[in-house]
Chains A and B, each alone.
Chain A
Amino acid sequence: MFGLIPASLAAASPLPALLAFSAAPLAHLRPLDIAVIAIYFGMVVWIGFYLKGKSNTSEEFFMAGREMTAWIAGLSFVSANMGSLELMGWAGSAYQYGILATHWYWVGAIPAMLFLGLVMMPFYYVCKTHSVPGYLDLRYGGHARSVAAFSFAIEMILMSGVNMFAMAVVMKVVLGWDITFSIFVSSIAVALYVGLGGLRSAIFNEVLQFVLIWGGALLVPILGLAQAGGVSGLKRQIMTNMQSMTGVSSDSYFHLWRDTSHFAANPMGVHWTGIVFGLGFVISFGYWTTDFLVVQRVLAAHNLRAARMAPIIGSFFKMAVPFIVILPGLLGLVLLQNADGSRRQLVGEDVVAACSLNSSGQVAEQGGCTAAMAKTNLSPASQQKVMAGGDDAELHSYNQALPLMMVRYLGPGLLGLGITALIAGFMSGMAGNVSAFSTVWTYDIYKPLINKNGSDSHYVMVGRMAIVVGVAVSIGAAYLVMHAHGIMDYVQALFSIFIAPLLAVILFGMFWKRATRLAGFLGLLLGIIFSAGLFMWVKLTPDALATVALSPDAKPMAENVFRALWAFIFASVLVVVISLLTKPRPVAELEGLVYGATKLPKEDPVPFYKNEYIWAVLVVIIFAALNILFW
């Protein structure tokens, strides 16, 4: 679920820094809220027990019986990327950078989702693979599969642990819940419902999460806009106070593309080339078309047409998500207030950590806190309050924009619904990671490398055990992150390190008959090493950022997109060169795997309103209109 890391997380100190600030919880739950949360837990366990009887064969347990409709697969597909950390992080990024954060929902998702549905899905679906490493096995052989499978398995399990820890931190900060309580309650619930119902249970809960997020979060922008005087009122208030609020002197907050011709011209410090080629192509296509966590949802569709429609249905909802994420962040800029009625200025998590309190309620390191606050737009009065310590210090990070807005508008019951939506987001994230881990472990590691001749029921048993072990390892990873905060940076980077070379290898494998087994294996392996090398170079030598991102004005967010771009180019060159030097596979062996060597099944004619191309054209029109409207 850390596929596309929110800017406010990538650019700041890691989330665990939040723990350092021992302020009072943001919200106080009442019995009605507790009842709402308890009913949710009861529901997911009920679903798990109900689906246990429908998850007896490996096809049922790992692939949900391949009987999901386009709507369920589509909502699950888009929901797999709507984790709570993403929602909170992007709301925080909108507060910090304005609507530039919307790029991660539009250009960073929509073209790739359409490409998956219309172009790539037939190959994934026709070859009947159970996983992305499974496709690599068919196309490039066992070595490429093993590299991808081990990378995926490690990534999934560590991310599950980080997700678990992130949820515990958020629950601690927002509600004051004990970290261990949150970790164990969520782990037991996830192990229970995924262990019982397999992928079908994970998909059901993702659809449930999708509904809860809209039911719990939609009120925030509606009520916020009502209070701000509509969109025009919001814009006017931000423009009037822009300099004091944000430190940005232009109206860059409201433009997606206009100010991206130079790194220094926009608050995020990115360039349009990085957005289009790094984010819009490599990162986005890598995530939405090759990350097994999301592709697995579409592979569970009941026929090819449903598998093609699923990402297209998902893209409509993806375009709407900024309404409940980006808009609350912008509204937070003008509406959030301190207890005394003054405007509340949010800060980076590094500032919150620098101003952590000691046991007597005073700032522990006065000098560090003063220096950190000097770099912010906090008013002198606010800074004095923080230095004085106490409950009214009111120092909150960007990532708390969404929960703060929830607390502002949602009373008993509604607040419980909003918190349940966040919990559901975290839990389905963990469930997605653990179910993907179970599939990859069983099909791509255990079966080919340890026991080739097991019975179907044996592999289901191995899959169930993998879920229990996966959750246990995730708990260990969560505590590891808690005690060694810097590890979170590395775990979050795993995705971006791995995904760009994988995209290159899969695209050449799917669309170039000449690509050879050795080229696929070495392209993936050396591409991952190259990408990890770039990451470590910038990590150890921060000045290298200017080289990687091609500008001294580049900010950390630019490093992510440019590193992905270089890794993709590096892996692509390797695949092409090595393929030309080695002997290709006979075309006959590539049937069902490669464009030009595959006869796609003819689909029955359907009315125009069920035709995936018609809906895809509509998505393109809306996508173009939104980008022009917010140019």
Chain B
Amino acid sequence: MHGSGIPIWFFIGVLLLIYGLMIFGYGVFEALIGPLAPVELNYLHTPIWWGAILAVIGLLYVVKFRPGRAGK
């Protein structure tokens, strides 16, 4: 958004960070005790790396677009 206030990118960052941490956490849990759902390519541990990617992107957006940072 142009102008003052919380940018949309901050909201997106928060959502991606929360989702990324949840999915990454489940991926680690699954890697330790075995898969809970019979999906294909389980051995690739998709939740771990995809969750990590989402969390890192989310964190970058949260930091870069955090409220009050605009104009600094």
A226 proximity list for chain B (CB < 8 A):
41, 44
Question: Is B56 part of the contact surface with A, judged by Cβ < 8 Å?
Answer: no
CB contact list, A173-219 vs B, under 8 A: 200, 203-204, 207-208, 211-212, 215, 219
Question: Is B6 part of the contact surface with A, judged by Cβ < 8 Å?
Answer: yes
* Cβ-defined partner of B11 (8 Å) among A32, A65, A204, A223: A204
Q: Tell me, in angstroms, the Cα distance from A36 to B54 when the chains sit together.
A: 13
Question: Is A417 part of the contact surface with B, judged by Cβ < 8 Å?
Answer: yes
Q: Is the interface of B mostly helix, strand, loop or mixed?
A: helix
Q: Tell me, in angstroms, the Cα distance from A67 to B56 when the chains sit together.
A: 29
* Cβ-defined partner of A69 (8 Å) among B1, B36, B46, B51: B1
Contact A207 B12 (CB under 8 A): yes
Question: Is A50 part of the contact surface with B, judged by Cβ < 8 Å?
Answer: yes
Contact B2 A69 (CB under 8 A): yes
Q: Tell me, in angstroms, the Cα distance from A40 to B14 when the chains sit together.
A: 11
Q: Tell me, in angstroms, the Cα distance from A408 to B41 when the chains sit together.
A: 9
CB-CB contacts of B50-69 with A at 8 A, as 1s and 0s?
A: 11001000000000000000
* Cβ-defined partner of B39 (8 Å) among A72, A410, A417: A410
Q: Tell me, in angstroms, the Cα distance from A415 to B39 when the chains sit together.
A: 10
CB-CB contacts of A90-131 with B at 8 A, as 1s and 0s?
A: 000000000000000000000000000000000000000000
Among A46, A215, A227, A415, residue most surrounded by chain B Cβ atoms (within 10 Å): A215
Contact A67 B1 (CB under 8 A): yes
CB contact list, A404-439 vs B, under 8 A: 407-415, 417
Q: Tell me, in angstroms, the Cα distance from A306 to B1 when the chains sit together.
A: 12
* Cβ-defined partner of B36 (8 Å) among A30, A35, A207: A30
Known: A67-B1, A67-B3, A72-B1. A411 touches B12 (CB 8 A): no
Q: How far is the CB of A33 from chain B (nearest CB, A)?
A: 10
Q: How far is the CB of A132 from chain B (nearest CB, A)?
A: 23
Contact B18 A50 (CB under 8 A): no
Contact B8 A50 (CB under 8 A): no
Contact A223 B3 (CB under 8 A): no
Contact B11 A72 (CB under 8 A): no
Contact A414 B6 (CB under 8 A): no
Q: Tell me, in angstroms, the Cα distance from A407 to B37 when the chains sit together.
A: 10
Question: Is A43 part of the contact surface with B, judged by Cβ < 8 Å?
Answer: yes
Known: A47-B11, A69-B2, A409-B46. A32 touches B40 (CB 8 A): no
Question: Is A39 part of the contact surface with B, judged by Cβ < 8 Å?
Answer: yes
Contact B42 A411 (CB under 8 A): yes
Known: A30-B36, A211-B16, A215-B54. A413 touches B2 (CB 8 A): no
A409 proximity list for chain B (CB < 8 A):
39-41, 46
| New contact pairs (5) apart from A36-B22, A46-B11, CB-CB < 8 Å | A72-B8, A215-B19, A411-B35, A414-B50, A417-B19
